[in-house]
Structure 1
Amino acid sequence: MKSVPKLIRRFVGILLLSSILIVLINFIAFVVLMASYIPDKDASPYNIARETGKALQSSTGGNYVLSENMSAKLTDCGAWAILVDNNTLKVTWKTENVPSTIPNDYTLSDIANLSVGYLDGYPTYTGENEYGVVVLGFPKDSFWKHTQPSWDYSLLSNFPQIVLNVLFINIMLILAIYLIANMKLLKSVKPITKGIQGLSIGENVHIPETGVLSEISVNINHTSDILQEQKKQLRKKETARANWIAGVSHDIRTPLSMVMGYAGQLGNSPSLSETERKKATVIVKQSERMKNLINDLNLASKLEYNMQPIMKKEENAVAVVRQVVVDFMNMDIDDRFPIKWKTDDKLTVCNINADKDLLKRAISNLIQNSITHNENGCAIYVSVSTYNNKCIICVEDNGIGVSDEQIEKLNHTPHYMVCDTNTTEQRHGLGLLIVKQIMDGHSGTVIIDHSEYYGGFKTELTIPL
Structure 2
Amino acid sequence: MKWKLTVRYLFSVLSIVFIVIFVNLFLLIGILFYQRIDGNDSLSAETGENFTRQFSRHMSIENGQPVISDEGVQALRKFGGWLQVLDKNGNVVTNVLAPKDAPAHYSPIELVHIYKYMDDQFTTYYIGEIEEYSYLLGVKNPAEQRIIFVFNSKSFISYMSKALVGITIADLLIAMIIGLLFSIIITKPVSYIIDWISQLKERNFTVQKMKRQGIFKPVFSNLNSVSETLQAQEEERMKLEKMREEWISNVSHDLKTPLASIQGFAELLREQDVADSERMDYAGVIERKSIYMKELLDDFNLTMRLRNQEMPLNREDTRLESFVRELVIDLLNDSKYSDHAISFESNAQNVMWTFDRHLMKRAIMNFINNAIIHNDNNTEITVSVTKTGITIEDNGKGIAKEDIDQIFNRYYRGSNTENIQGTGLGLAISKDIIEAHGGRITLTSDIGKGTKVEILLG
User: When the two structures are superposed, what TM-score results if normalisation uses the length of structure 1?
Assistant: 0.46
